[in-house]
Amino acid sequence: MSKKKGFSLVELLIVLAVMAALIATITPVALNAIKKSKATQVAQNLKTLASALENAAYVNGVDENGIKKPDGIGHFSGTNDITILARDINKDTYGVWYKDLGSGQYEVAVFTTENVDYTSVKSVLESANSSFNMDNPDATLGVTTDSGVTAAYTFTFTVY
């Protein structure tokens, strides 16, 4: 008696059913991992911008016109200035506002309008907010809040 070579239709359908079940269970896990990695990236970008502006104030100094730029010419005040702080951060989705409170004290809000889940960002960066309120900032760098803030990081620092 000779045996046929190959798979029967039933065997093929069983293998396909097992593969479909595996894909159905793995897909939500993979999508959650992608969402979490995006939130981690956004949280890191917020911290990077915050540290960069604070370091710029410490290193380059401040005066009555605000925080000086690294080249010593002018102050952080324009939309394109965000690229000086961090080169890989998109000025169309990230923004920085700062305000001189007097006596060398500055209030800073770093925010993003990027489409990201705020609760995931909050789990990575505990001090993140979903919004902020800063009246009359001295400088606006990057995107404005008109398109809606999805995550923000606010802090105050003093330059002696």
Q: What is the mean pLDDT of each run of 10 residues along the chain (160 residues)?
A: 80 96 93 91 93 92 86 81 85 90 91 90 90 82 84 92
Rounded CA-CA distance 21/112 in Å is: 38
Residue 39 burial (CB count, 10 A): 22
> Is-contact 100 66, C-beta < 8 A?
yes
Residue 64: strand, helix, or coil: coil
Helix (H) or strand (E) holding 98: strand 94-102
Give the pLDDT of residue 143.
Answer: 87
Give the helix ranges, DSSP H, for the chain: 9-60, 82-85, 118-124
Rounded CA-CA distance 92/40 in Å is: 19
Rg, the chain, Cα only: 25
Rounded CA-CA distance 34/16 in Å is: 26
Q: Where are the domains of the chain?
A: 9-158
Give the pLDDT of residue 11.
Answer: 93
Point out which residues pair with 157 in neighbouring strands.
Answer: 106
